[in-house]
Amino acid sequence: MVTELDPDELATRVGKLLLDSGVPAAVGVLPFDHTAEPRVVIPAEARWAGPAHGLVPAAKPHPAPLSSTAVPEPAVYAQAVADTVADLRADPELRKVVLARALDLGFAAPADIAALLPGLIRANPLGYTYAADLDGGRTLLGASPELLLRRTGATVLSNPLAGSVPRRTDPVEDRAVAEALLASAKDQGEHRVVVEAVVEVLRPFCRSLTVPAAPSLVETPTVWHLSTQITGELIDPDVSALRLAAALHPTPAVCGTPPAAARAAIAHHEPFDRGFYSGVVGWCDASGDGEWIVAIRCAEVEDRRMRLFAGAGIMPDSVPESELAETAAKLKTLLDALGLG
């Protein structure tokens, strides 16, 4: 396992170990906190397969939890959003802060990770499903809709998502809220902050970048997102996907901007350590190709305990009740996928 904090050294060591070992790929997770150690593993064995969607068995209902605790309580989260809005309006340099909340579940028996994965895969055909071992018997599992970075040869692709709205069951209402999201000045502004940050980070690495003039809509079963696909051609073909992912992480989609001030606000308002939530999970091979996903729509599982996470991007014109509803919709996505809805 490689736990190097320096991004250049991390990518260099992982690349050398892959070349020396002949293992086809390294896998790992980067935490949200840049001062915490990443966990990148050179596995003894790796298997490659086609897409799992459409091939997995039907998910079995998971035993209901014995306890459920919101961290913080919804009213406290809404007040934290209101306080953050006040901070944003008072400080024009602070443009966006992402605030998360959690849901702690307790069960009678240890969770069966293998039994939970089919539901995650089937629940979101466009998602990236993952399960990563952490230290102390913990597992991070989820189905993220957001690709941080994919490198294929000299081509890189980043697909930030920012600006979201819960979906509706009625098709007409659902299309109306989607179109309203696309026209929303608040959500367009939130999305623009992320795109600008991704472009700023990738520009020194790329000979050329292609950035659409406006975002498009993408959907999960419960949420509409604004999406932009940014593509680039690398100047140096030896820069690995892991190095690029480490440079991009965290984007304003999960942290805010400017990063230092946003991190300070998160530390003040969130009553928990994010750990690997809103970090990065993925793989890279010896040639430098790879795919790294933003670790959202996820849960951290340890024995009989499970913590689910959801966050929302807070802007100067955010409405606390709307941000609370957005996080509730994201938690519902995960609860349904895990058979707990």
Residue 134: give the domain boundaries.
7-44+65-337
In the block, residue with structure tokens 């990443």? 38
Cα radius of gyration (the chain): 19
Q: 168: left (phi > 0), else alpha (psi -120 to 50), else beta?
A: beta
Query: Is 185 inside any structural domain?
Result: yes
Determine the pLDDT at residue 59. 67
Which of 37, 45, 60, 146 is flagged as catalytic?
146
Paired tokens of 154: 């000299």
| Secondary structure element (H or E) that encloses residue 76, with its range | helix 74-90
Q: Is residue 50 part of a domain?
A: no
Q: What are 144's strand-pairing partners?
A: 128
pLDDT digits (tens, 9 = 90+) for 20-69: 999 999 999 999 999 999 999 999 888 888 777 767 777 677 888 999 99
Query: How far, in Å, CA of 177 to CA of 180, rounded?
Result: 5
Count of C-beta atoms within a 10 Å radius of residue 19: 11
DSSP per residue, 229-256: -EEEEES-TT--HHHHHHHHPSPTTTSE
- CATH code of 242's domain: 3.60.120.10
pTM for this entry = 0.93
In a domain, 154, yes or no: yes
Low-confidence ranges of the chain (pLDDT < 50): none
Examine residue 283 and state whether it is found in any structural domain, yes or no. Answer: yes
Cα-Cα-Cα-Cα torsion 263, 266, 271, 276, nearest 10 degrees, comes to -60
DSSP three-state, residue 18: helix
146 given a catalytic annotation: yes
57 domain-assigned: no
Q: Give pLDDT tens digits for 71-96.
A: 999 999 999 999 999 999 999 999 99
56 in a structural domain: no
Going by C-alpha positions, the residue among 337, 332, 247, 324 that lies closest to residue 81 is 324
Residue 36 within a domain: yes
Report, in this order, helix, strand and coil percent for the chain, each rounded to 5: 35, 30, 35
CA atoms of 106 and 304, how far apart (whole Å):
6
- As a dihedral over the C-alpha atoms of residue 36, residue 275, residue 203, residue 291, rounded to 10 degrees, the angle is 110
Whether residue 49 lies inside any domain: the answer is: no
Quick one: angle between helices 7-21 and 241-248, nearest 10?
160
Q: Find the catalytic residue in 9, 96, 219, 291.
A: 96
Element (H, E) at 224: strand 223-227
Q: How many domains does the chain contain in total?
A: 1
